A and B are shown apart, each in its own frame.
Chain A
Amino acid sequence: MFVFRTGILGGRVDISVTVNGEPTSHDVEARRLLVHYLREDVGLTGTNIGCDTSSCGACTVHLNGESVKSCTLLAVQADGQDVTTIEGLAPSSDELHPMQEAFRQEHGLQCGYCTPGMVMAAVSLLDENAKPTELEVRQGLEGNLCRCTGYHNIVKAVLAASGQPVKD
């Protein structure tokens, strides 16, 4: 699915990535990770970095509509692709995405550091499974770590965003 061009490793590459619907182009080191491209070249710092082992999911974004950990991809792998970050999720400056609103209503965030990645993963989860069970939500978010909430209210928020009744 990704087109690898030969001869780029160790050098610099011109890439073009559509980010939140806007075209972006930068000359990047071939070893640059997508998360660094988004944060430092494009300047969208909502996507956070929480580890160096692809364990925590704080950097989760959507690549062509599916959630990926943006620390597991080289920026060049996103060349010509479509990326959505947390900044591109809400429909407007006045209105949150229903998943963001559910996180707010259910108190699904505290420090907010894991939140962008968690929300992006949760949106992707509901895209794949519109009415997940509590267990499916838990297993679906296994790749995203949170230290503040104990996950309780995150699970509630995802269930609420799916339109299912939520008990305390």
Chain B
Amino acid sequence: MGSHSAAPLPYGGRLIEALKLGATPMSMTGSILGNAVRRKEDPGLLRGTNEFYADLKVDGLLHARFIRSTIAHAEITELDISEAESMPGVVAVLTSRNTDLPDNPAPPFIHPSMFRPTFAKDRVRFVGDIVAVVIAETESAGQDAADMIIVDYDPLDTVIDLDTAVADDAPIIWPEHGSNVVFTTEHQFDADVLAGADVVVSERIISQRLAGVPMEPNGCVAVPDGDHMTLWVPSQNPQAVRDGLVGVTSIDAENVRVVAPWVGGGFGPKAGYYAEFGIIAEAAKSLDRAVKWTSTRSEDFLSLAQGRAMVMDVKMGINNDGKIIGMYADILADVGAYGAIGVVLPTATQMMSQAVYDIPGIAFRARAVTTNTTHIAAYRGAGRPEATQMVERILNIAAQAIDMDPAEVRRANFLQPEDFPLVTATGGQYDSGEYEKALDAALEASGYSDLRAEQAERRESNAELQLGIGISAYVEVTAPFGLHTEWGKVEINDDGTANMRVGTSSHGQGHDTAFSMIVSDMLGIDMDNVTLIQSDTDEIPQGAGTMGSRSLQTAGSAVHVASTEILAKAKVLAAHLLEADPDDIVVGDGGLHVAGVPATAMNWADLKAAADDESKRPADMEAGLEHELVFDGEASTFPFGAHVAVVEVDTTTGEVNWLRHVAVDDCGTILNPMLVTGQQHGGIAQGAAQALYEWMRYDEDGNPVTASLMDYLMPSAAEFPMFETSNTETPSPRNPLGAKGIGESGTIGSTPALHNAVVDAVSHLGVSHIDMPVSPLAVWEAVSLASS
């Protein structure tokens, strides 16, 4: 590693219960595992009765309305709240001048002067910075009062463009730090890794800024009860929100409860603590009344963390036989005005920069750069899509330069199955992989040679609609950043039902269904009698939430191990009571019985009663039927796959028509193929949205110009084809389920496949690259430029 190492985030270091890998094989007979079991979550969601945070009915509720900076970088010269305070229905108006809340928590590595104030003090640093909040009896009263607050600004120079931000004469956003570069990560950046290559190609590849847009916007409800405070919040990680509240508000740790009820999507932006939460909780405490903040979509476009935003200057050295000699990457990563998790995401880009290939030399540097924009954090993929896009684009450009088919150039460089496990040059601890197999499957499913033949015909006839075929081969990292451990507990209840408690926090993935399948399979308890308890800091002592495609492999494994332990104990207990050998006790429907003698059985209610009864259980056995642990996968897992996108490009108008998308994604052993396919579909769509449509844009003064769903081109059903998804299954050795994550694979694979496809459609016209999103205008300009 370079000047800073990618230290694990502070989730590690907890008590670890080691698992002997492979010691707990899955049940092999009559298993529901691997089947497309329909979701337990759905009936309430389909009826509209499952409650999201905004649906909670709370007495005496007050409503909060934030007043945000309308200028990207400015001194606040006047802040007059007097008229707003006197408006009917207004209970309080809070600013930095009448509150004393500490700064917000910040990620590792950044200078302490850069911590975000809870309310902007004398200076605002992006459009959306919090200047004040109105607390009122009704939403409309709060809105009316917010319009009466007077803020005068004295504008300062803005920093928006990344090249400008690192120039010697750049305005500095954080003078005490002295540079707009807030963090640098390197790997052999000074090495001459391209020496000796037959051909060297170079390109500036941009992963444009995106907005996450979970369909449920941000918000929270803070409900005080004496000294206690409950915050209901649409979060991927209630524990992190709890920690943030304890650090920022005057509420004591033992009095804080954070609950994520049903949550309407996350995709990364909902993984962290928000300054707004602390303000709302503190207001509720000081007013001793419940306070609700409901972010609007347009407010989300300013205040919810955004993603990507990397500019990558890349070179690849390649020989005429297709063998890669080396790759050079110099990256600028936008982190926004205040350091958030986006500061460390370039370390993931660095780790994954070797991708699926044997690359002898890699020179890498990424500089995280502050700008007067909304902060950057995790967004579906979070540092890995950038790496894949970088490698898959520059490799296509290299293949074009040596006139080699993009599939063949990949074959010439794949890491091979016998190489695993392996540690890459940039520190990726790859567990297992068969990259060529996935590519072969994707090529076969797409009818690759027929597609190439059709493309040749269209080129020959100079057709107006040209065919483009794009390939990507990828590997990514799931449960990254030290997030490969997780707490879980399974307990048998007196009535024979089971509870699962986990530190992950499902918000659409279907964990209740998936984890119930594990318990049901192992213990013979009907899935409907297994309950998932999650996302409530009063019920869950520790957890890192759901992000980084980590949940099944960590919490699911914890549920698996806990169930294994309960089963082992229950077998001894049943053997004791049924006067049999524990090895002869087997799982039946709703309990245990002696093998071959189903009538000699005990159901789980009887087993629980016996376990709690000193006179019935063996003398050396402890009471209860439960087990808790922190599962430790020991390292991340590395899913992989290959995608083929097929597009038709109108060479006159530049319009792209996405015809087909073939995805072969390997997430290890599959627990529920319906859930896996659903993740593939959603991931493909979000990756495609980056390739073709979405771009969170700012003008040169830092005004966001795509800050509503009227302006930000989130695609609808009308933009997409049906997706052709399948899987290879290469088990991970790092957990008893053999699982790797699937939440982000589709996104990581689809963006470069589509991007490559569009360029491929017009490459014969002399085009070698087009920036994303590849809009009709961008395509038309590239074609026009190449032909002029």
Contact = CB atoms under 8 A, between A and B. Distances in A.
Contacts of A96: 43, 46-47
B686 interface: yes
B512 to A, nearest CB: 12
B682 A155 contact: no
A107 B678 contact: yes
Contacts of B264: 48, 50, 111-114
B215 A152 contact: no
Interface in B664-684: 674-675, 677-678, 681-684
B265 interface: yes
Given A96-B43, A152-B723, A111 B678 contact: no
Nearest to B41: A112
Contact of A152 (B41, B296, B722): B722
B47 A86 contact: yes
A52 B722 contact: no
Contacts of A144: 716-717
A110 B682 contact: yes
Interface residues of A, number: 56
Interface stretch (B239-247, B323-331, B592-600, B707-715): B707-715
Contact of B47 (A46, A111, A145): A46
Contacts of B265: 110-111, 113, 147-148
Contact of A55 (B294, B509, B710): B710
B296 A52 contact: yes
B42 A53 contact: no
Contacts of A8: none
Given A48-B264, A141-B716, A53 B216 contact: no
Contacts of B51: 45
A111 B263 contact: yes
A87 B47 contact: yes
B551 to A, nearest CB: 13
B213 interface: yes
Contact of A145 (B263, B714, B722): B714
A100 B42 CA distance: 9
A71 B570 CA distance: 55
B215 A111 contact: yes
B708 A147 contact: no
Nearest to B45: A112
A74 interface: no
Q: Which of B38, B45, B57, B681 has the most CB of A within 10 A?
A: B45
Given A48-B216, A85-B48, A149 B297 contact: no
Interface in A87-135: 87, 89-90, 96, 100, 103-105, 107, 109-116, 119, 134
A133 B305 CA distance: 38
Contacts of A85: 48
A152 B215 CA distance: 17
A106 B54 CA distance: 28
B47 A100 contact: yes
Contact of A53 (B263, B267, B710): B710
Contact of A31 (B41, B140, B682): B140
A45 B55 contact: yes
B507 interface: yes
Q: Which of A43, A103, A109 has the most CB of B within 10 A?
A: A109
B508 interface: yes
Interface in A140-168: 141-155
Contact of B54 (A49, A142, A149): A49
A42 interface: no
B336 interface: no
A111 B507 contact: yes
Contact of A104 (B38, B296, B686, B708): B38
Given A56-B297, A113-B215, A87 B718 contact: no
A73 interface: no
B52 interface: yes
13 contacts: A45-B48, A85-B48, A109-B46, A111-B214, A112-B50, A112-B264, A113-B264, A115-B46, A138-B717, A138-B720, A142-B717, A147-B213, A149-B678
Given A52-B296, A111-B215, A151-B720, 19 more contacts: A51-B217, A86-B47, A86-B48, A89-B47, A104-B38, A107-B38, A109-B42, A109-B46, A112-B41, A113-B52, A113-B215, A113-B264, A134-B722, A137-B717, A139-B718, A147-B214, A147-B265, A147-B267, A155-B722
